[in-house]
């Protein structure tokens, strides 16, 4: 399966002395504490395979970060929904829920759909706060991902590297010639 390098996360390390509010037992400022739930939500697809890829990604994220409460969600077309994930977070003790849209760029879903679905989910509970992060892009690291894909595939077709994990076994990563 996909190798996940652990990265050292300063969980709970307070950035700058910021005014505390709502500091409760176990809640850690700016870090992720035991009362924080993370939801990573993609668009959702009729193809089960696509949905499973997001759910696998979320497992990797939980493993890599060590955050206590992390749930996948699909905005539409598949379960778990945002509502399902929100309630799972609260059941596990979350008092603050961070919804992270797994979308390439800000668009209608980020601007409108996900906020309203999350507000709807939150209505079922009281005393829970939530916020919605920016989507993936634009972000400098996405530039590195694209470059890494290009470099790796070129290395492979030149015989210097194996296929990457995505291409492995598909025989797709090769040089084609025009007529």
CA dist 118 and 139 (Å) reads 24
Q: How far is the CB of 161 from a copy of itself (least distance, A)?
A: 8
Q: Could you say which of 76, 91, 133, 162 contacts a copy of itself (CB under 8 A)?
A: 133
CA atoms within 13 A on the CB side of 14: 9
Secondary structure of residue 148 in the 3-state scheme: helix
Contacts of 33 (CB under 8 A, 6+ apart): 11, 12, 26, 27, 68
CA dist 152 and 89 (Å) reads 38
State which residue, 54 or 82, has the beta carbon closest to a copy of itself: 54
Q: How far is the CB of 113 from a copy of itself (least distance, A)?
A: 13
Q: Which of residues 17-36 bind a copy of itself (CB under 8 A)?
A: 18-19, 29-32
State which residue, 80 or 132, has the beta carbon closest to a copy of itself: 132
* Both tokens assigned to 73: 């969600």
Q: Which of residues 147-176 bind a copy of itself (CB under 8 A)?
A: 147-155, 157-161, 164-167, 172-176
Total chain residues near a copy of itself (CB under 8 A): 92
């Amino acid at each position: 399966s996909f190798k996940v390098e652990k990265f050292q996360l300063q969980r709970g390390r307070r950035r700058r002395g910021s005014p505390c509010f709502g500091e409760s037992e176990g809640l850690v400022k700016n870090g992720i504490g035991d009362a924080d739930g993370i939801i990573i939500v993609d668009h959702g697809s009729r193809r089960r395979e696509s949905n499973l890829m997001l759910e696998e990604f979320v497992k990797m994220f939980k493993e890599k970060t060590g955050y206590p409460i992390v749930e996948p969600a699909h905005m539409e077309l598949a379960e778990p929904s945002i509502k399902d994930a929100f309630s799972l977070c609260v059941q596990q003790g979350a008092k603050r829920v961070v919804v992270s849209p797994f979308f390439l760029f800000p668009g209608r879903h980020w601007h409108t759909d996900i906020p309203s679905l999350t507000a709807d989910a939150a209505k079922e509970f009281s005393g829970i706060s939530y916020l919605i992060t920016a989507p993936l892009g634009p972000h400098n690291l996405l530039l590195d991902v694209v470059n890494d894909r290009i470099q790796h595939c070129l290395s492979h077709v030149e015989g210097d590297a194996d296929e990457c994990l995505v291409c492995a076994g598909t025989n797709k990563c090769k040089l084609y010639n025009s007529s």
